[in-house]
Amino acid sequence: MSKVFVVDIDGVVCNHANAICEFVNNKFGINSQVDDVTSWDHDFGPISFVKAVEETYCREDFILGMPVELNAGWFLKDLAAQFEVILASARKPVCHAATRKWVEQNFGNFEVIFPGSKTDIQAHFLVDDNIDEVISFTKTSGCRTSFLFKRPWNNNADTARRLLPIPNCSSVVSFREIIEQIKGN
Ligand SMILES: [Mg+2]
């Protein structure tokens, strides 16, 4: 039986910050960029990141228009040749149907789930942009490996310090790096 590889959606295969910046820029006439989003609830000035997510994720047209992260399609295809791939997200129920549609339109036929925590999934590998998920996933079993997908909101000294002592846990800047690291599994 193949090992299971869990892939997070927002901040990993979906460039959600790009979509949110575009929404905020159009609505408020500002000029924000993904690199400005250096915290989970970035304050754009007229609106916070979390508030912008609440305003937009309930719209199917917004979800379906969200950009795919560079090389994500290649990455998922490559993984699927070796593992059972599950896409997992903490997105709220209001956009579950649209999220499934987005996955299908952009990547084809993949299982999509919305668990409370990715740690509860029976799986061997995880890639996520959330340091808490990444650490908790490996802590439950020594046989698990996780990757923190480095993004502006987790690229800081505190995150690096927390990640350092955790075995089987590393940060990566590209999908290619993950593929290289799991060779032979
Ligand atoms: Mg995420």
The domain defined by 4-15+68-181 folds into Rossmann fold (3.40.50)
90 Cα to the center of ligand 1, angstroms: 8
96 Cα to the center of ligand 1, angstroms: 15
137 Cα to the center of ligand 1, angstroms: 14
57 Cα to the center of ligand 1, angstroms: 14
How far is the C-alpha of 140 from the C-alpha of 77, rounded, in Å? 28
Do 75 and 178 touch, CB atoms closer than 8 A? yes
How far is the C-alpha of 146 from the C-alpha of 3, rounded, in Å? 13
Do 99 and 91 touch, CB atoms closer than 8 A? yes
Mean pLDDT, range 23-50, rounded to an integer = 97
> How far does the chain reach from its first CA to its final CA, in angstroms?
13
**For residue 148, what pLDDT band results from cuts at 50, 70 and 90?**
very high
82 Cα to the center of ligand 1, angstroms: 23
Residue 110 has pLDDT above 90, yes or no: yes
116 Cα to the center of ligand 1, angstroms: 13
- For 45, list phi and psi in degrees, rounded to 5: 110, -80
Edge-first strand order for the sheet with 4-8 is 111-113, 84-88, 4-8, 125-128, 145-149, 169-172
Percent residues over pLDDT 90 in the chain = 92
**For residue 1, what pLDDT band results from cuts at 50, 70 and 90?**
confident
Q: What is the pLDDT of residue 74?
A: 97
Environment class of 48 (CB within 10 Å of its CB; exposed 0-12, middle 13-18, buried 19+):
middle
Domain ranges of the chain: 4-15+68-181, 16-64
Residue 142 has pLDDT above 90, yes or no: no
Q: What is the pLDDT of residue 140?
A: 83
20 Cα to the center of ligand 1, angstroms: 14
